[in-house]
Amino acid sequence: MFLRIDKLQIELPMPQEPDPNAANAVNELMGGRFGEMSTLMNYMYQSFNFRGRSRVRPYYDLIANIATEEIGHIELVSATVNSMLSDSMSHDDPLSTPLGGAKDLNNLHHFIVTGQGTLPGNSMGGHWNGDYVFNSGNLKLDLLHNFFLEVGARTQKLRVYEMTDHPVAREMLGYLLVRGGVHALAYAKALEELTGTDVKNLLPIPEIENNAFPEARKFEDAGYHRKLYRFSYDDFKEVSKIWKGPSPDGSGDLEVVDGPPEGSKEKPDFPDAPESFAPSVNPEELEEIARKL
C-alpha cells in the first residue's frame, strides 16, 4: 500500500510566464511511451507480478522501490505542465472568445478536455497506453528492459530540454535527469550483480554527461546522483545489496537514504482559469463555499 505526502520532490519555481506549446512538449514526458507514466507502470506491474521474491529479494526491492519514486515523478511533471499552461489565455468573459488563442496551439485537449491541465498522453495527442508496459516475468529480461527504458526516457528528456528554456521545465528536467541517472545505474548494477556483465560501461546514453547541464549539475553537486531513497518505513531494505560501492564519477560512495527526499516547502497553487470554468466561473461562489466549510 501507499502513503501520500502532499509535497513535490523538489521546489519548483511558481507559475510564471506561460508557454502552452512548450507545456505540451513536456507532456510527452508524462504520457509518451518513454514518459514517467511508463516508467511508473512498468516497474509497478513488474513488482506486482514478481515471482519468487523471497529468493531474489534485492531485485524485487529495487524494482518496487523505484516504482514508488516514479509516482512522485509523474506528480512533478504534471506540476510543470500545469505551471506552464497557467495564465496563457485571457480571463475575459465567454462572449469575447477568451480561449481563441488555444485553437492554434499544438494540443487543443489542454483547453477543450481539461481545465488547462496535464493529460495522460503524449505531445501529439495520443493516449498513454498499457502496451507500453513490458513485463516478461523473466528477471534478467525485465531488468534489461528497465535499463533501456531509463536511457530512452533520458534521450527524450534531453530533446525536450533542447526545445525549451522555460525555467520551470528546466528545473524539473535537471532533477529528473539526475534521478533517471540513478535508476539507469541501479538497473545496470542489478544486471551486473546477476550476470557479471558490466552494463554501466554503456552509460551515458546519449553520450553526454548530466553535469553538462547546469540545472542537473546543481543536483549532482548536492550529491543527489549518489542517493537511492527508500520510500518506506521498514521495507525494501535489501536495495542496499545492489546500491552500494563507489559512484562511477568518483565523487563518493553510493548511499541508500532511509525515507523519502525532504521535498518542497511549497507546492505551486495554480491560479483560477475562469475562461475554462476552472474551478468555477464565479469566484464569489467559491468564496461562499469556502466560508461554509
Q: Which among 200, 175, 168, 193 is positioned nearest to 22, based on CA atoms?
A: 168
User: Residues 73, 157, 170, 225: which binds Mn ion (CB under 5 A)?
Assistant: 73
- Closest contact distance (angstroms) between CB of 150 and Mn ion is 5
Rounded to the nearest whole angstrom, what is the least distance from the CB of residue 109 to Mn ion in the complex?
Answer: 23
**C-beta of 180 vs 204, nearer to Mn ion:** 180
Residues 51-70 as x/- pattern, contact with Mn ion by CB under 5 A: -------------------x
- C-beta separation of 100 from 275 below 8 A: no
The grid cell for 132 is 507500453
DSSP 14: P
Of 66 and 139, CB closest to Mn ion: 66
181 vs 216: CA distance, rounded Å: 10
- Give the residue with the Cβ less far from Mn ion, 72 or 268: 72
Q: Which three-class secondary structure state does DSSP give residue 121?
A: strand
Residues facing residue 256 across a β-bridge: 228
Binding to Mn ion by residue 225, rule CB under 5 A?
no
User: How many amino acids of this chain bind Mn ion (CB under 5 A)?
Assistant: 6
Instruction: Tell me the closest approach of the beta carbon of residue 115 to Mn ion, in angstroms.
Output: 26
Q: Which of residues 137-196 bind Mn ion (CB under 5 A)?
A: 180, 183
CB contact at 8 A, 105 and 8: no
Binding-site string for Mn ion from residue 18 to residue 47, where x marks contact by CB under 5 A and - marks none = ------------------x--x--------
Q: Which is nearer to Mn ion, 50 or 175 (CB)?
A: 175
| Cα gap 104→117, rounded to integer Å | 17
Alpha-carbon separation of residue 251 from 20, 57, 158, 198, 255 (angstroms): 39, 28, 23, 20, 12
**Chain-centre distance of CA 125, in angstroms?**
19
Shortest Å distance, C-beta 145 to Mn ion:
13
Question: Measured from the CB atom, is 50 or 111 closer to Mn ion?
Answer: 50
Give the footprint of Mn ion on this chain (CB under 5 A): 36, 39, 70, 73, 180, 183
